[in-house]
Amino acid sequence: AAAKGLREELRGAAGRPRISKQEGPREEAAAGHEILLPNERSFQNAAKSNNLDLMEKLFEKKVNINAVNNMNRTALHFAVGANHLSAVDFLLNHKARVDVADKHGLTVIHLAAWSGSLEIMLMLVRAGADQRAKNQDGMNALHFAAQNNNVCIVEYLIQDLHLKDLNQPDEKGRKPFLWAAERGHIEMIEKFIFLNLHTSEKDKEGNSALHLAAKHGHGPAVQVLLTQQQEINDINELSTSALQIATQNGHTSLVSYLLSEHVDLHQKVEPKESPLHLAVIHNHIAVVKSLLSAQHGTDILNQRQQTPLHIAADLGNVELVDTLLKAGCDLKVTDKQGKTALAVASRSNHSLIVDMIIKAERYYAWREEHGESIRNPSTSFTLTFKQDHSLETRHIRGLLWDLAYNQLKASEWQRLARSWNFTDHQIRAIEQQWSGKGSFREHGHRALLIWLHGTLMTQAMPVKHLYEELVRAGFPKLAEKIRQFKNETDARSKKCAVS
């Protein structure tokens, strides 16, 4: 926020250095009226645009070339920040001050290091600029060069000027090597390694170079850092590993790389948010799938004794719940409040999630009961627990809707559900989504669709099976309607086949 004014004033520059966040746009705007005289303002604008003719004319009018604006910036700040070599040369030849720090502590030596012009840096050093100057965040020229990947500046400062004492931590406890890692600058990282200025030290938050690179998804930088004995399972002050940081920020390719390097998936640290928990919390579905493919435990608990499924169910995230259910997670695990994932979804009024979990409970119970004799689901019905919108089931879904909304009376759907081995727990979970006196119709429709899902996974002929089940459950009139529907459907199919 504090850089807003500098960014506007340095239009045309390659970039901007990081400055303190202590001052914001409002404070900058409230710093007082413009303190520059008209000619001084024109002179600074000329320096920004490299307009030497105007600078010369204004200088002849005795303009103060060292005048500062309300951010304490001089014309030299803008000329250096914009990499205007001619304007810098003009200013230095006319005795422009090189030691002025703006309100953030930025001097022209910092801007030169950031902008990356070695020629301007040489000119400033010859003019007596303080090579060791620090800004308000304790950052010096080496920090800024590292941030913006200006290797030539680093080589000059370290190899030519022999300023190895610049390799100091700033106010965040970060040495320049850590800034290069956070920005993912491979060339700069390798240069620091060559100059023996790399470090395994951590900043004040306990982040190593590996943590910072992982946070921003810099996979190639992580690979280089791991070759320098950076510990892949190291944790920071928040007890977070590189894998957890990459997971939390959704860096899928980096997660895949760390997994390929045999990172510890189940590191015992506090807080106990596993990588899978973090991927679910932040809705990174691709990362979730990568972790599951790497055999991340589906039933690992966090400090609230929640599995990843508990969290996905509470969030009402259909895609994540479906992915976790297909991974075969334990649906009986309870959290600290004694609630299963189904109870959590029911409490949160996520009816779609409730139905998905009940489908999974019934499907996996069927598999367990039948063991090795289970037949593979039809290729038309790939395993999923999401709502069915397929064309193949459109007719029978229409029939079930009619059955629920026009045929079944209140409480009859529960009777039918129990005949299909729905548990009391499952029936209560469906009923908890109450929308009024007519809720039984919606509840019955949901139960019928849950039954249909299981039938499609385990039976070959759902309509025939529905007829038999209705007879067995004591609904002969409804069963006859189903039989009539089946006969009409079969007749239409034959006519289509003949034609």
Q: What is the pLDDT of residues 240-262, one digit of tens each?
A: 777 888 888 888 888 887 887 76
The pLDDT assigned to 294 comes to 86
* pLDDT, tens only, 201-227: 999 998 999 999 988 989 899 889 888
Q: Which residues contact 466 (CB under 8 A, 6 or more apart)?
A: 396, 455, 482
Sign of CA dihedral 419, 422, 428, 433: negative
Q: Is the pTM of this model over 0.85?
A: no
**By three-state DSSP, how is residue 100 classified?**
coil
The pLDDT assigned to 261 comes to 76
* Cβ atoms of residues 121 and 147 within 8 Å: no
Across 115-144, average pLDDT: 97
| From 148-157, 175-184, 390-399, the region with the lowest mean pLDDT | 390-399
**Cα dihedral 131→133→139→144 (10° resolution):** -40
- Reported confidence tier of residue 234, pLDDT bands at 50, 70, 90: low
Structural domain boundaries in the chain: 1-168, 378-498
106 in the Ramachandran plot: left (φ > 0), alpha (ψ -120 to 50) or beta? beta
What values do phi and psi take at 497, rounded to 5? -70, -40
The answer, yes or no, to whether residue 372 has pLDDT greater than 80, is no
The pLDDT assigned to 268 comes to 53
- Interatomic CA distance for residues 447 and 248, integer angstroms: 36
The pLDDT assigned to 238 comes to 73
Domains 1-168 and 378-498 share a fold: no
* Percentage of residues in the chain having pLDDT higher than 70: 84
Residue 316 burial by Cβ neighbours in a 10 Å radius (0-12, 13-18, 19+): middle
Look at the domain 378-498 and name its fold: Death Domain, Fas (1.10.533)
**By three-state DSSP, how is residue 430 classified?**
helix
Q: Which residues contact 306 (CB under 8 A, 6 or more apart)?
A: 277, 335, 336
Task: Please report which residue ranges of 139-284 form alpha helices under DSSP H.
Answer: 141-147, 151-155, 176-183, 186-194, 209-215, 219-226, 242-248, 252-260, 275-281
* pLDDT, tens only, 13-60: 334 554 443 333 223 333 334 689 999 999 999 999 999 999 999 999
The pLDDT assigned to 405 comes to 92
- Reported confidence tier of residue 459, pLDDT bands at 50, 70, 90: low
The tokens 């030290």 sit on which residue? 201
- Reported confidence tier of residue 379, pLDDT bands at 50, 70, 90: very low
The pLDDT assigned to 470 comes to 86
Residue 215 burial by Cβ neighbours in a 10 Å radius (0-12, 13-18, 19+): buried
| From 86-90, 257-261, 284-288, 378-382, the region with the lowest mean pLDDT | 378-382
- Reported confidence tier of residue 231, pLDDT bands at 50, 70, 90: low
- Interatomic CA distance for residues 110 and 328, integer angstroms: 56
> How far out from the chain centre does Cα 32 lie?
40
Across 170-194, average pLDDT: 96
- Reported confidence tier of residue 486, pLDDT bands at 50, 70, 90: low
**Cα dihedral 79→82→83→84 (10° resolution):** -50
Q: Which residues contact 26 (CB under 8 A, 6 or more apart)?
A: none
Please tell me the class of the 1-168 domain: mainly alpha
What end-to-end distance do the CA atoms of the chain give, in Å? 72
| From 121-125, 336-340, 365-369, 484-488, the region with the lowest mean pLDDT | 484-488
The answer, yes or no, to whether residue 121 has pLDDT greater than 80, is yes
- Reported confidence tier of residue 496, pLDDT bands at 50, 70, 90: very low
Question: Which two tokens mark 414?
Answer: 């529960």
Question: Which two tokens mark 485?
Answer: 């529907």
* pLDDT, tens only, 273-331: 888 999 999 999 999 998 998 888 899 999 899 999 999 999 999 999 999 999 999 99
The answer, yes or no, to whether residue 89 has pLDDT greater than 50, is yes
* Percentage of residues in the chain having pLDDT higher than 90: 59
The pLDDT assigned to 69 comes to 95
What values do phi and psi take at 433, rounded to 5? -85, 85
Average pLDDT across the chain, whole number = 85
The pLDDT assigned to 357 comes to 97
The pLDDT assigned to 422 comes to 95
